[in-house]
Structure 1
């Protein structure tokens, strides 16, 4: 009897929620516009749901993964190029190499805002291939530069196009996958960063041994840039705008695609662009704290993706072997990332998993900084820890942000803030891994460890706040709800809505 009364009270509370929600919250168009009551009462067919999800995984996810693979390749291959003496061939002096890296990261950070704006305005399937074609062209031109100034201009433009891409891709995937599904899919495409490190290392290993009138690093830029342009052209014809526009779905499957999101992801599907909704998260403190944490994990991420080759170079291997030895740490990072993501999705938990990833970075960087150069085996193991811990937050924390943001326009702004923060970490790492600290890089490694430790502190603070705030809301409403118990329709006002529950 007590259980029946409890269920009845919970049902009445949910009805009260719906009565306070505008009837057109679902957005989209007349064919796929549902009231909150229709969404709540919709009986999802498990087989149809699985079929739609499988269609996304086969038709959208592979091209998204491939696009991000080449994004990571074309921004990270300078690390391989430096091992082939690109800096010496172009006459770099002093810290000009670090200046060149910094110049890339400045537009890479700033262009996230116009990038997501344009993607929301004109559609990701239109803008993502344009961004990709742009940076692929710049990557190929990079093979023809003759001096520091020309390289600086090319890297600046490369940063502009790549900066528009990353946050837009995150926003795009969130238009198809629910909160429970997003973590694994983000892991799939973001694991391409680690895969790109391994792939670029293997490709460099081969190209740097080719007898040609061109330098090995020039061949690397030409091949990777050319392949990028090919993928951009293919993606133009493949990517759908939203579930309701997916040609590979039947009308019934499109309805399922919309309902999946309205039940567990967003309050609107295919919502029209609204400038007011876009900048709405700017007034919420969580947006900027999350962005600050992204800057923190961005330092470790950039260390692993841009400077791992230089770190391994401390042991004096040949150019060819140095690139070959980057393959194993990156490959290990992919496996560890998947273990963390599967565990995180299974437990519906994010922050503790991300803290553990930060812990791997702290242990790896501190240990490597303290080890003598002669301890090659132990030092090389530390690079596995650094690589493994560096890439996980990019998946789980970005998923965390999407999980706690239910309006499409707001997601676009927050994706830009998170992208800005994580990319700004590259500016920090580019200016601490200076040539004067080579080959051991003790000071940069210690600074990186301190920043990762700060990230753990920020996450602890966020988690404590969210746990206590959820408890307060439950206490005031006399219920025991978590984020999964609240109808998505009730989340459109974010924390301002008493029914809101944090996903942490």
Structure 2
């Protein structure tokens, strides 16, 4: 039953009503917005994300389909086509904060229509320089979208809910790569009137433009503007926001510079950033060179396109499962350590074996470790920031440092190392092991920080099955959750391990 305060005609909810919602969550009324919001927000974001990742990976399949031959692009020049995208992506990572400054539906539309247009224009490239320009602007627009969606989701979901939502969004990466491989297989196996690689860019770019326009009309900026929620559900959603930040206020419209400065000097942000860097070394290299690796394993170019799909579908499944487990247990560090081991084992198989079966198994294990690890790093950053501005700054730091990984990853498979690319495989193995070590280090640090906060404020009691703090502060006698945000800096804030 919805608390009486939430049924009031007053658009603002009293503290008593907020406390009731906090204590009786998840009520059937709260379950509705908690499950309706993903339907229109992160699932919609995932669909747009699928198009983003497929357009980004189109360059890989275009190479296999003959782009480098038609445009007379050398191996070093092709590496620069990959690198320029990440340079642009890194330079404009601060765009993540624009989600807090501008209405999200406006910013998302700008980014998606922009990259869809640029992705389509790649089909008209007549030279390496023209393709370089297109890749630069593709990174410009995508930098404004990808990092911001997980940040935006933090405005709508509690810390024990957000991991699976981010997982749904980020699962678009392996799923889109899976579809991109299958799509490329279908396109490149035909006989079109134009070059197959040009048709590939058209087919993967034009839908993004249409999707971006649709985003302007369907993406809600806040629960109050979500057309799929009724008034009672919006009241519950507002109360959930109060539980997060401790005060009912507009969360979009500006940033706090003091919180940005605090985030910049927080060592925990750099541990997660270097974890992201480590994963991105492998993340960027695997989808970029997987069709080439499969081709070198003895498969034809067309069959290599098709065989690149199953490893990514496996990664898609593991992303969802691992994000769910981490949410339920609130133990992201342990999950990340396990995923790092899986990825490392996959790369060890690729580095030490020569036969097709073990190497293809290695590809599957590598994909099942890398993508899910990234999907669990992002919510870990959002879980452990003490304000909305800090969360935005944490995401920006994560991406500015982490997206430097592809600058290395895309250069680890030179033609001279074919057909086994053992040096690149060993480098990826080392970075996955390093990622696991960093996860252990960060978890240890966060555990120490929680003990320090307990000493300062007293133990805040236990958390229920939904991750909500229950009990009272033994030092002050105050009831935990009495109008105080659980996810912002304060007596009830504790880090997620």
Q: How far is the alpha carbon of 1:62 from its aligned partner?
A: 2.5
**1:42-441 correspondence runs (5 A):** 42=21, 43-44=24-25, 46-113=27-94, 115-264=95-244, 270-271=250-251, 272-276=253-257, 279-280=260-261, 281-372=263-354, 375-441=355-421
Contact in 1 for aligned 2:96/2:143 (Cα 8 Å): no
Distance 1:467 1:128 in 2: 37
Contact in 1 for aligned 2:29/2:236 (Cα 8 Å): yes
Out of 6, 18, 24, the residue aligned to residue 39 of structure 1 is: 18
Distance 2:196 2:248 in 1: 50
Q: Classify 1:499/1:266 alpha carbon distance in 2 versus 1 (closer, same or farther; 3 Å).
A: closer
Q: Which moved more, 1:328-337 or 1:153-162?
A: 328-337
Distance 1:482 1:368 in 2: 45
Q: How far is the alpha carbon of 1:41 from its aligned partner?
A: 4.2
Distance 2:130 2:96 in 1: 28
Q: Classify 1:202/1:469 alpha carbon distance in 2 versus 1 (closer, same or farther; 3 Å).
A: same
User: Which residue is equivalent to 1:23?
Assistant: none
User: Which residue is equivalent to 2:484?
Assistant: 489
**Tell me, what secondary structure is at the counterpart of 2:484?**
helix
1:452 aligns with 2:452: no
Q: How far is the alpha carbon of 1:478 from its aligned partner?
A: 4.7
Q: How far is the alpha carbon of 1:454 from its aligned partner?
A: 1.1
Q: How far is the alpha carbon of 1:468 from its aligned partner?
A: 2.2
User: Which residue is equivalent to 1:501?
Assistant: 494
Distance 2:412 2:114 in 1: 29
5+ residue gaps in structure 1?
A: 1-29
Q: How far is the alpha carbon of 1:118 from its aligned partner?
A: 2.5
Contact in 2 for aligned 1:105/1:424 (Cα 8 Å): yes
Q: How far is the alpha carbon of 1:499 from its aligned partner?
A: 4.5
**Tell me, what secondary structure is at the counterpart of 1:461?**
helix
Distance 1:503 1:437 in 2: 42
Contact in 2 for aligned 1:258/1:269 (Cα 8 Å): no
Q: Classify 1:383/1:269 alpha carbon distance in 2 versus 1 (closer, same or farther; 3 Å).
A: farther
- Aligned length in residues: 469
Contact in 1 for aligned 2:255/2:389 (Cα 8 Å): yes
Q: Which moved more, 1:328-337 or 1:39-48?
A: 39-48
How far does the alpha carbon of each residue in 1:37-65 deviate from its partner, in whole angstroms, 9 at most, with x for none? Answer: 65334455711111112321322233111
Distance 1:382 1:200 in 2: 21
Q: How far is the alpha carbon of 1:418 from its aligned partner?
A: 1.8
Contact in 2 for aligned 1:295/1:424 (Cα 8 Å): yes
Q: How far is the alpha carbon of 1:33 from its aligned partner?
A: 6.8
Distance 2:372 2:227 in 1: 33
Contact in 2 for aligned 1:109/1:420 (Cα 8 Å): yes
Contact in 1 for aligned 2:13/2:239 (Cα 8 Å): no
Distance 1:492 1:277 in 2: 18
Distance 2:349 2:32 in 1: 48
Distance 1:255 1:399 in 2: 25
Distance 1:234 1:194 in 2: 24
Distance 1:149 1:138 in 2: 14
Q: Classify 1:119/1:480 alpha carbon distance in 2 versus 1 (closer, same or farther; 3 Å).
A: closer
Contact in 1 for aligned 2:291/2:301 (Cα 8 Å): no
Q: How far is the alpha carbon of 1:316 from its aligned partner?
A: 2.6
How far does the alpha carbon of each residue in 1:474-499 deviate from its partner, in whole angstroms, 9 at most, with x for none? Answer: 345553646742648356763xx465
Q: How far is the alpha carbon of 1:350 from its aligned partner?
A: 0.4
Contact in 2 for aligned 1:404/1:502 (Cα 8 Å): yes
Q: How far is the alpha carbon of 1:285 from its aligned partner?
A: 2.1
**Tell me, what secondary structure is at the counterpart of 1:307?**
helix
Contact in 2 for aligned 1:124/1:168 (Cα 8 Å): no
Distance 2:203 2:246 in 1: 40
Q: How far is the alpha carbon of 1:353 from its aligned partner?
A: 0.5
Distance 1:270 1:309 in 2: 47
Q: Classify 1:249/1:205 alpha carbon distance in 2 versus 1 (closer, same or farther; 3 Å).
A: same
1:466 aligns with 2:446: yes
Contact in 2 for aligned 1:125/1:236 (Cα 8 Å): yes
5+ residue gaps in structure 2?
A: 1-9, 470-479
Q: Which moved more, 1:351-360 or 1:285-294?
A: 285-294
